[in-house]
Amino acid sequence: MEEIEAITLHLLVHHHPTTINRCPVTAWPPPLSRYYKITVVLMCFVVPTLVPWYIWGESLWNSYFLASILRYTISLNVTWLVNSVAHMYGNRPYDKHISPRQNPLVTLGAIGEGFHNYHHTFPFDYSASEFGLNFNPTTWFIDFMCWLGLATDRKRATKQMIEARKARTGDGSA
């Protein structure tokens, strides 16, 4: 009897290859992945170029280079800033044994993602920062989506957990 239950459980968790091949999701890729490349080109370059050109009469040249290329370049550099500067400069109030750090300049540029030491110490915390009222538009957006009912099951680190971790492994800067 236990062997039958084990086989049944295995089949519930791991699909047989023939079942996977018949699955409509793998047979017909979802529209998002099917049209991914064209969607990226349209939303990242074409729409940001056409809106200023068509709506307020900006030249096509300026629209393309300012609204598309400059915006894309700034976004990439801010993203890379999180993975470089936030791993080299700043304090480590939660865990001094890892390289990610708290960096206020990265927080401003990356709309709240500069609380990197906290994020790596408490990866399950949706807010990525201990402080509720600090500049963190990403958390504000998630909270708003929760208020609308579009996000659920947000997890936060408790104050006791944060204080215990600060005392145990922090650098004493917070």
How far apart CA 58 and CA 48 sit, in angstroms, is 12
Q: What is the per-residue pLDDT across 77-117, written as a single tens digit (0 to 9) for each?
A: 988 888 889 899 999 999 999 999 998 888 888 887 888 89
Return the SS3 of 58: coil
Q: How confident is the model at residue 20 (pLDDT cuts 50, 70, 90)?
A: low
pLDDT higher than threshold 80 for residue 11: no
**Neighbouring residues of 8: CB distance < 8 A, sequence distance ≥ 6:** none
Mean pLDDT of 50-66: 95
What residues does each domain of the chain span?
2-84, 88-169
Distances (CA, A) of 153 to 62, 125, 145, 149, 158: 44, 11, 12, 11, 15
Separation between Cα atoms, residue 40 and residue 37, nearest integer Å: 5
How many Cβ atoms are within 10 Å of 103's Cβ, its own excluded?
24
Cα separation of 38 and 163, whole Å? 47
